[in-house]
Chain A
Amino acid sequence: MKVIKSILALLVLPLLAGVSGLHALEHGFTPEEELRIREAFSKSLEELVEMEVTSVTGIEHEWIETPAAVHVITGEDIRRSGHRHLAEILRMAPGMNVGRIDSWHWAVTARTFNDVWVGKQLVLVDGREIYGQWFSGVFWEFEDLPIDLIDKIEIIRGPGATVWGINAMNGVINIKTKKAADIDGTTITSAFGTDGLGFGEFVRAGELDIGGNYSIWGRFNTVPASISLDGSDSHDSWNSGRLGIRTDFGREGRYYSLLADYFQGSYEAEPVSPNLTELDFTSPTFTKTTVLPAYTGNSAAETLNLQLMAGGLLDNGVKWDLNTFYFTRYHDHLDNYGIRLEEDTFAIDLRANYVEGAHNLMFGTSYRYQHLGSTTRVHSDLTFIGATKQSNFPEDQQLDTYQGFLQDTINLGNDLNLMLGTKFENNEYTGSEWLPGARLWWTGVPNRTLWASASKAVRMPSFYLNSGEFTLHYIQGELLNPAFAGLYLPYTLYGNEDLGPEVLKSYEIGWREQLRSDLVLDATAFIYDYEDLLLLPQGDPGAQDLDLSGPLPTLRRTFSNNDNAEAYGIECALSWQATEQWKIDASYSWTRFNPGGPNGAAIEGIDPEHKWQVRSTYELLENLDIHQGLYFVDEIPRYNIDSYLRLDLGMTWRPNATTELGFWGQNLLESTHEEYHSEYYKKAKTGVGRSFYITVRKKF
């Protein structure tokens, strides 16, 4: 079956390419187009502003000519999808792996290496990194932006390190919120559904008396627990709230935006209190039977972001943009390890752009200061085995990061363009890194872009990999050596300050074309070479891990940079306005991943090989739309997760110009299915269940 799928994949692109060859070169307009042009020229101003036309996905021409694997999800795409969380929305992008682990954990990445803490996927909101240095990844449960605040999400598959720097390895997700002037009045949305699902959000904007515009927003979420596959309550419901304000000023070609955003969330966790009678020490392999429960109490988090964005044009023609922010958060997310984590980040980023002749020069510099603090709590549940702490982190760590980049886009003539650039970054963990990249693209045929790229990206170790200390298991000592009878030996993962960065060398080619006025194709093929992967030694802990240097014997392991891997694949997407009322988006992606080092078993089979999706919106009546999303995700062998087909259906009805009612059903084909699993959380597997909900959206 897989061979057939691969052959089909090989055939897809040439077949699609042939479509463009079916159209002979013609000049002039069809009789129907002529009529439409005449109609437009006969309209008055008052009539023109009322005219609605059909556009292919609202695609900007700029996107057609972008020489990278970029997919854009607009605010309207989101409203039609029925997805109501940022991580869920990313399912719509071709080549993205999105797996819901439980109610408040997602694994999200482009192409490969998916995990709850991906480490190789940079995510930004309005230019601010939300990638967390603690464990290399995004805490998606903190990122529940109001849907009506999102302007668009640009998903760049492939490295973006030349501009965005370290950790922009598998891809960059760039979430852009609306400027205050682009928000129309006040919009309130509320939703309620099965199992207590519900949210409410508002977005309001207006003009300030002193000039400029303001917007305020809020969102409140309550999400039910996921379904444990053994039928038990998985205890992972959560609720959160967010409030924000933004002001935008523009004067004489300059703009200034000030933004403040506050978030608070609380997350239920398994109320398990272990004792010796609940633990099973009979396993000769000392492994997961002795694992302590992953959760021992509820978690909570707060974040605050204060941000200033500004830009303008200097007299010498240099365009500049400044982005600076202060971000602070704490969370007890890993309460099971007895840690409260705190972070303060201040960053300033200055970018400039200058066009001279055939050169379009982009350059910039940035500085980031991070303070990471932790409070390691005494873990009362561990006192029964003579230990008091299950984890240990430095109480205080301060990180300075300096960056600079230079990129030149050169028009070589004959519709050929070359982009060359490099970024330099100096960080506390791996020192100095150079991140070069090159892109070549050709736009010789209108609405067609052919491109190729080669680039290098790196990921630096997280705070946890550099300095952390986690005890995962307690093993009955006598099973290891009779001399240790009566002792419980901690099996502990230690950070390693000598770790170097992971390195990716990436090669991509792509073809994007508006084949007809109603049909757009986007196709990409890529090869990734990963080097120096950060992995743990594989196999069960045993005598080889014994560390007798401390007061108590310990089983000790550290991460190393000893592994390589390769990944390659194709991604293909079509957007088709089939009729004036019916729009269809479809995509297929195929990824093959080959680990190549001594610890490769840890990462084999962690991603689905095949994925496809078909989404459509049909305007049944002028005020009634039908929405459908069908997603196929292949099996994930590593976690014994079967392939699944997910069907979402929705209907939106506008009884009047200011009110919209939505009726949504998600995961309709199965009562529950499993999407992803994480080894960081040693809890029972959970599934994503069938759900129904209703939305009411009102504009004032």
Chain B
Amino acid sequence: MSVFPSVFNRLYLCLLGAGLLAFGLFAQEIKPSFDEISRLQAAYLRNLGEYTRWPDSVQFDDRGVVIGVVGRDSKGVGRILDYGVQIVDIKIKGKVPKIVKFPDSKASGITECDILFVLSSERSRVESLLKSVEGKPILMVSEISGFASKGGMVELTQTGSSKVRVTLILNPTISEKTGINFSSRLLGLKKGVRVVKP
């Protein structure tokens, strides 16, 4: 039987812990990871902007659609969108969209966007965020599980584990309350779309 309490054992663990923390703290910052799912999410946001009709009060005659990315964007959705705008020259409604990044859902300027993409870091705040934009013609999109049933308009959901598809859950009942309508092409997709019933 080992001696108890063992000073050596404690020292051993403390040393290990200190080493772990030191390496974790001082290891160089790595390149922000490129995430395949974020690539699809960014492409979806562009398509959603295209196949959504905003109410007449929102006009894009002299400006591009404003896409806000809310939360800790460690997978780089905003960066991919930026790349799309600057290099690939993507357009929505015939204009170059504007990409704005918000560190969290309490940041100011959120309600000035036309599309808000809510990242998973905002999971605990998603209900209050939805409350704060209630009635406003902002297309609310998120990767958070259950977003559409909680009152969001579009949920980008993942199916599969290693081989992943990103599909859509739409909640037109909520979007129509703000005057936002999904196009028939979006609602009529034969695969990859589920509509939340009222």
Contact = CB atoms under 8 A, between A and B. Distances in A.
A247 to B, nearest CB: 14
Contact of B1 (A38, A250, A353, A604): A604
Contacts of B35: 55, 517
Contact of A45 (B17, B28, B51, B160): B51
Contacts of B33: 446-447, 514, 516-517
Contacts of A58: 158, 160-162, 164
B53 interface: no
B130 interface: yes
Nearest to B89: A41
A53 B39 contact: yes
A4 interface: no
A43 B9 contact: no
A17 B3 CA distance: 32
A13 B191 CA distance: 45
Contact of A61 (B29, B121, B161): B121
B24 A511 contact: yes
Contacts of B193: 49
Interface in A58-87: 58, 60-62, 64-65, 74-77
B165 interface: yes
B5 A596 contact: yes
Contacts of B16: 10, 13, 525, 570
B179 interface: no
B127 A313 contact: yes
Contact of B20 (A17, A448, A527): A17
A26 interface: yes
B91 to A, nearest CB: 10
B4 A564 contact: yes
A222 to B, nearest CB: 29
A253 B34 contact: no
Contact of A21 (B27, B47, B124): B27
Nearest to A526: B13
B5 A46 contact: no
Given A14-B19, A20-B28, A568-B13, A53 B36 contact: yes
Nearest to A353: B124
Interface residues of B, number: 81
B17 A509 contact: yes
Nearest to A55: B164
A4 to B, nearest CB: 15
Contacts of B30: 20, 23, 25, 445, 447, 515-516
A184 to B, nearest CB: 8
A304 B120 CA distance: 36
A634 interface: no
B125 interface: yes
Given A13-B23, A14-B23, A57-B162, A252 B87 contact: no
A41 B9 CA distance: 56
A583 interface: yes
Interface in B151-198: 151, 158, 160-168, 185-186, 189, 191-194, 196-198
B186 to A, nearest CB: 7
A57 B23 CA distance: 25
A48 B20 contact: no
Q: Which of B36, B119, B124, B167 has the most CB of A within 10 A?
A: B36
A566 interface: yes
A681 to B, nearest CB: 26
A412 to B, nearest CB: 15
A447 B149 contact: no
Given A29-B83, A49-B189, A54 B162 contact: yes
Contacts of B23: 13-14, 17-18, 20-21, 511
A45 B183 CA distance: 12
Instruction: Determine the main DSSP class of A at the interface with B.
Output: mixed
A566 B121 contact: no
Contact of B40 (A48, A517, A568, A594): A48
B191 A50 contact: yes
Given A58-B164, A76-B162, A516-B30, A319 B127 contact: yes
Interface string A368-397: 000000000000000000000000000000
Nearest to B134: A253
A45 B43 CA distance: 9
Q: Which of A27, A51, A64, A207 has the most CB of B within 10 A?
A: A51
B47 to A, nearest CB: 5
Interface residues of A, number: 92
A194 B32 CA distance: 49
A38 to B, nearest CB: 6
A496 B35 CA distance: 57
B111 interface: no
A49 B74 contact: no
Given A23-B30, A509-B21, A523-B20, A617 B162 contact: yes
Interface in A141-165: none
A40 interface: yes
A313 B131 contact: yes
A25 B31 CA distance: 5
B164 to A, nearest CB: 5
Contacts of B80: 37
Given A29-B83, A317-B128, A450-B24, A45 B165 contact: no
Interface in B128-142: 128, 130-131
A23 B163 CA distance: 26
A415 to B, nearest CB: 10
Contact of A41 (B32, B37, B88): B88
Given A57-B162, A313-B127, A527-B13, A38 B47 contact: no
A10 B185 CA distance: 58
A41 B90 contact: yes
Nearest to A28: B83
Nearest to A15: B23
A40 B39 contact: yes
B74 A37 contact: no
Given A45-B186, A525-B16, A52 B131 contact: no
A61 B77 CA distance: 13
A1 interface: no
A599 to B, nearest CB: 12
Contact of B121 (A20, A25, A62, A516): A62
A514 B197 CA distance: 38
B138 to A, nearest CB: 16
A51 B165 contact: yes
A37 B88 contact: yes
A516 B31 CA distance: 8
Interface in A519-534: 523, 525, 527
A671 interface: no
A36 interface: yes
B185 A45 contact: yes
Nearest to A46: B189
A592 interface: yes
B171 to A, nearest CB: 9
15 contacts: A23-B30, A25-B30, A33-B34, A34-B83, A40-B39, A43-B43, A45-B185, A48-B166, A53-B36, A212-B197, A442-B25, A445-B30, A511-B24, A525-B16, A570-B16
Given A29-B83, A48-B43, A207-B197, 20 more contacts: A17-B24, A23-B28, A24-B28, A34-B87, A40-B42, A41-B46, A41-B88, A49-B189, A49-B192, A52-B163, A53-B163, A54-B164, A58-B160, A61-B74, A62-B120, A250-B149, A253-B150, A446-B72, A525-B17, A596-B5
List the 10 closest A-B pairs by CB distance, nearest first. A49-B192, A17-B23, A76-B161, A596-B4, A53-B36, A58-B161, A40-B43, A313-B127, A250-B149, A446-B74
Interface of A: 10, 13-14, 17-18, 20-21, 23-27, 29-30, 33-34, 36-38, 40-41, 43-46, 48-55, 57-58, 60-62, 64-65, 74-77, 181, 207, 211-212, 250, 252-253, 255, 313, 317, 319, 353, 355, 357, 360, 442-443, 445-448, 450, 509, 511, 513-517, 523, 525, 527, 564-566, 568, 570, 577, 583, 592, 594-596, 600-601, 604, 617, 619
